[in-house]
Amino acid sequence: MNGILCMNKPQEFTSFDVIGKLRGILRIRRLGHTGTLDPMATGVLPVLVGTAAKACDIMPDQDKTYRAKVRFGLCTDTLDIWGAVTGEYPDMHVTRAQLEAVLPQFLGEIGQLPPMYSAVSVGGKRLYELARQGIEAERPVRRVQIYSIELHEFDEAAQTAELTVSCGKGTYIRTLLSDMGQALGGDAVMTGLCRTKASGFSLGQCYTFEEVAEAVQNGTVEKLLIPTDRLFAAYPQLRLNEAQTRMYRSGVKLDLNRIHNIRREQEAYTVYGADGAFIGTARADFEKQELRVGKNFTEG
């Protein structure tokens, strides 16, 4: 079994919990995931099965979309409703107009301070490990990309809202919502989070543990897998002849002048063998006029 199995992660499961449970269901050890989700978050978690696990660190599309719920006038040590309350702002009263007015300042490339309760490493230790010891560590502000923020629901009486956020790799939605609250004169906590899209895959493509277990029992689980090359859908495709296919599989650099569909200024490609089957990725070296093997997904 090789490919992508999109899971709808349930609440109170870590991403590693999902991998552990799937190993038991699928009876396969080689599994990886494409991006950590907080335990209390739900939604899209693409799991890389078999040789697809090689793609963990080379996926070109690492953008995400989230549906987030927020409550204004409160702050916690985890920046979400499940943490210990560290402050309240009874005089804070946000209107829809005020919230809509601050949203544009969080678009584009912005700076974020990673929350203490996160998996970011500082000095060789995870921040959440230090937080549990009561240690507040210095951590560098990181640059993240916010593509869009859409306000769907707003309840002025309850001081709650629901938004959709499309963002790049490494964005903390908890931090984003807290920063919005601070921009509005107080603070805010996340009360719910569902990832609706990740690495090009949507919630509609995801399965539950029960559905996967049933497919295993019926012998149809491989039908749930999305082909590995979908991870690289943005790359142009190269089709090799039989001799080139053998050379590529052996790690031999190929002559760019003998390969069809090489595009000037385009370095990354997906590679297909003479039989049309996906075999891996490659990078064009225009200075040396060579096609170098990137990652071969047909190996064990």
Which of 109, 66, 63, 51 is CA-nearest to residue 233? Answer: 63
Closest to 71 measured CA to CA, from 195, 12, 155 = 155
Q: Which of 17, 38, 187, 255 is catalytic?
A: 38
Nearest Cα residue to 68 out of 95, 42, 33 = 42
Cα dist. 250→33, 52, 242, 244, 246 in Å?
28, 19, 13, 10, 6
Could you list the beta-strand ranges (E) of 10-141. Answer: 31-33, 42-49, 64-72, 74-76, 85-88, 108-112, 121-122, 125-126
CB atoms inside a 10 Å sphere around CB 135? 12
In this structure, are residues 7 and 232 in contact, taking their beta carbons and an 8 Å threshold? Answer: no
Determine the Cα–Cα distance for residues 146 and 143; give it in Å rounded to an integer: 10
Active site residue 229: no
Which are the catalytic amino acids?
Answer: 38
